[in-house]
Amino acid sequence: MKTLLSQSRIEEGVACVATKIAAVYGESPVMIVGVLTGSLVFMADLIRRLEMPLRLGFLSASSYRGATSRGSLVVNSDLLPDVSGQHVLLVDDIFDTGHTLVRLAEMMRSNRADSLRSAVLLRKEGRQEVEYRPDFVAFDIPDEFVVGYGMDYRDMFRNLPYVAALDPEDIAEVGV
Ligand code: IMP
Ligand code: MG
């Protein structure tokens, strides 16, 4: 496993995104909607750098990948408050193919959010399959499988305080 983003670089990146978010929303109230589980650590650090009035909501989204297809996205919105009339900021860990955020953005619009933007910690270069782009991105990274700072491999490594890239040998060693 090799460190891709150290704790201090992550801190700088999160601070920079928070400044950009604050510049866009000003004093307007915002509903921050985290995509569980990967966005947990990013969201916790991000909201403590924001000073506008804000509410929190959560969604979970997982894609079950079949052998031949991309797989369907299963969304659970039990923990999502009413977003109608709210300025919604979706927060996710990684923008990879982009299908997850596209689907969630559509969902927020159909639930009549007043405005919809998105913030991600990481965007993987060259992987996007959609036109949609997140409004705020802390880091662009190469196309590697990453863990830590909330992100997992088979639900492990979320607690690492830095972001690391997993080698194929690491993946074999996890043995799960
Ligand atoms: P997308 O729909 O392809 O953009 O998928 C985004 C989701 O896939 C993220 O929210 C993550 O949960 C997951 N994901 C994509 N790449 C990685 C990775 O390198 N490590 C951990 N999770 C990942
Ligand atoms: Mg995710």
Chain segment 122-138, per-residue pLDDT in tens: 999 999 999 999 999 99
Kindly give, in sequence order, each residue whose CB lies less than 8 Å from that of residue 15, ignoring residues fewer than 6 positions away. 49
Q: For ligand 1, say whether the CB of 98 is within 6 Å of any of its atoms.
A: yes
**Angle at CA 25, nearest 5°, toward 100 and 131?**
30
Confidence of residue 175 (pLDDT cuts 50, 70, 90): low
Given the residues 96, 135, 143, 152, the one annotated as active site: 96
Indicate which residue's Cα is closest to atom 9 of ligand 1.
94
Is 60 exceeded by the pLDDT of residue 176? no
- Minimum-distance ligand to the CA of 75? 2
- CA 80 to centroid of ligand 2, rounded, Å: 16
Question: 0.75 exceeded by the pTM?
Answer: yes
Nearest ligand atom owner, CA of 122: 1
Average pLDDT over the chain, rounded to whole? 94
For the CA of 103, the closest atom of ligand 1 is 2
Largest CA distance in the chain: 49
pLDDT of residue 92: 98
Active site residue 96: yes
Nearest to 4 by CA among 174, 155, 147: 147
Backbone angles phi, psi at 62, to 5 degrees: -135, 145
pLDDT value at residue 60: 96
Tell me the residue ranges of DSSP E strands in 65-168: 72-76, 87-95, 115-124, 136-141, 146-147, 163-165
CA distance 158 to 128: 24
Distance between Cα 151 and ligand 1 center (Å): 8
Q: What does the pLDDT read at residue 47?
A: 98
pLDDT in tens, 53-71: 999 999 999 886 655 556 7
What contacts 77, CB < 8 A, 6 or more positions away?
59, 107
Query: Does 170 score more than 90 pLDDT?
Result: no
Amino acid at 147: V
Nearest residue (CA) to ligand 1, atom 23? 94
